[in-house]
Amino acid sequence: MKLIVAVQAAVTDDLADAEPSWQDLHAIELERPLIDAEVDLLDVQISLLDRPVSELGQRRLRRATNKVLAERRKASNRGVAVRAGDAA
């Protein structure tokens, strides 16, 4: 019987690179306000899924959308990579 083995090295051989570097963690911290604003927007959108949109719901959605846009503007002015996507 002939054994078939992988020609490439195993993917998990070097686990030293498995942890994020301090540069990665710092970049995440710089993006934290934007991430929080997007989570808040998602919470508002989810809360409006199962009920008709009222005036209060429209205000909450508009406020959350404006917060995301403001945080994206701040992040892009800082030079943080902001993914292109729809705010609403």
Encoded amino acid at 57, one letter: G
Q: What is the pLDDT of residue 65?
A: 97
Mean of pLDDT over the chain: 82
pLDDT tens-digit readout, 70-80: 999 998 888 75
- Per-residue pLDDT at 44: 95
Question: Could you read off the pLDDT of 22-47 as tens digits, one per residue?
Answer: 888 988 898 999 999 999 999 999 99
Non-local (6+) Cβ contacts of 70 within 8 A are: 37
Contacts 24+ apart (CB under 8 A), 31-34: 31/75, 31/80, 33/71, 33/74, 33/75, 34/68, 34/71, 34/72, 34/74, 34/75, 34/80, 34/82
In one-letter notation, the amino acid at residue 78 is R
What backbone torsions phi and psi does residue 54 show, to the nearest 5 degrees? -95, 180
0.85 surpassed by pTM: no
